[in-house]
Structure formats: C-alpha cells, structure tokens
Chains A and B, each alone.
Chain A
C-alpha cells in the first residue's frame, strides 16, 4: 500500500501570494493526479502527470512530476480566494487501473 504524504497539511495565505504544496512517497508511480475538493463536494480532477520531470500548467497552477516519479508539487501563483479548498494527490497501483489512492491532502485557505 502506497502512502502519499502531502505537505503542508494546512496553509492559510492572503490573496496575491504564491504557494507550493507537495506530494511525496517512497514508491514509483506510472502517473499521478491532482484533485481539488471544495467543501460539500467531491474531488475534481485538475491534472494528470505521466512522465518523470513533466511540468504542466493550468492557468496560475503549475504541476511538476518528480524525475524519479515518486513525488509531485503544485505551485499556485497569485492565489485567489477561489483557490480555497482541499488539494489531493492521487495514484493508482502500477499494473492496476482500478483503485485510486489519495494522499493526506493540503487544506488551503486564501483570504482577502
């Protein structure tokens, strides 16, 4: 069973600030996904990274997959209040497409 540790656990920042959250494991993954979950809602997929070292941008969000495919980071530039939510990384076991395992999550609060 992979353990996906995310850090920090909580982050409270003001609008306009930049931030980075991390997802780490000792296991190697064929791909990794980032989801955002807002209160009272289910997780929503933001991005999938597949190749070691890959960088993907989604507007102000930049996702990077580690070279060894064991870790990933999410950087948000000029955070907005709408970025508030729980950020989850998630992976599937190599060779098994069924079960998606989520990380421990980073709860982000962006205030005015």
Chain B
C-alpha cells in the first residue's frame, strides 16, 4: 500500500527556534493535512491544504505556524518560534480528494518534536 513519509522521525530544538517538519504525501493525493498529538492526549487537527492553499485550520494553527508545498512532492509544516507546549508528535496525512465525507486518510509515522 502507498505510504505517507515524514522526516525527521525525531526533532529536538531549543525554545524560540524555527523548525520545519517535512512530509511526502501519496503521489496522486490532492488533500494534505497536519495533525498533532501531545503525549497522552487526543489527535488534534491543525490544518488542511488543497490546491496550494489552506482549506481549513484550527485555533491551534496560529501565526507561528505555516504550511507550504514547495515542489510537487513535499508538504512542510513550519513553526517559526517554538514554545515548550509545541512538544508533540506531528502527523502528516493525505487523502485522494478530500471531498468525500467517508474518505480514508493515510497517515505518516509522525515526527516527535521536543522543545527544550
């Protein structure tokens, strides 16, 4: 089965530093997502992206966050100035169209971000 790949698997950074988390969605998919999961808590939606623009974002996704599709294959999440509370597992996901309510999301294995 095709996979969503994420790099790095672990990222340690100092508070206030910028981090970029990278994802390669499944090649024929059109909708991309970022989710995060703080240790022991639920999986939370951050943002969805379609046709080179943000489709929907949550309250978590403030001005410190941005997403980009810099080329035809990568999808990135940037956190400009990391805070301690940004420490979490960040999951990238993709789906074929994003237009069907019961469509399957394919998730990557995640990037564990630790902010010190």
Q: From A91, which residue of chain B is reached at the shortest CB distance? A: B101
The CA of A101 and the CA of B99, in the complex, are separated in Å by: 15
Q: Mark B45-69, 1 if CB is under 8 A from A, else 0.
A: 1001010000110100000000000
Known: A96-B56, A97-B98, A99-B56. 7 other contacts (CB 8 A): A33-B102, A48-B104, A50-B102, A94-B101, A102-B35, A103-B42, A104-B42
Q: List 19 A-B contacts (CB under 8 A).
A: A31-B101, A33-B102, A33-B104, A42-B4, A42-B91, A42-B108, A43-B107, A45-B104, A96-B56, A97-B97, A97-B98, A97-B100, A98-B50, A98-B55, A99-B48, A99-B58, A102-B42, A103-B42, A104-B42
CB <8 Å contact, B110 and A41: yes
A interface secondary structure, majority = loop
Binding site for B on A (CB under 8 A): 30-31, 33, 37, 40-45, 48, 50, 88, 92, 94, 96-105
Least CB distance from A54 to B in Å reads 11
Alpha-carbon distance between A94 and B101 when the two chains are bound, in angstroms: 8
* Given the contacts A30-B101, A42-B91, A101 and B45 also touching, CB distance less than 8 Å: yes
- A44 with B107: CB separation less than 8 A: yes
A98 to B107, CA, bound (A): 15
A40 to B58, CA, bound (A): 24
How far, in angstroms, from A45 to B43 measured CA to CA in the complex?
A: 14
Residues B24-47 near A (CB distance < 8 A): 31, 33, 35, 42-45
Complex CA gap A99/B107 in Å reads 14
Interface string of B79-116 (1 = CB under 8 A from A): 00000000000010100011111111101111000000
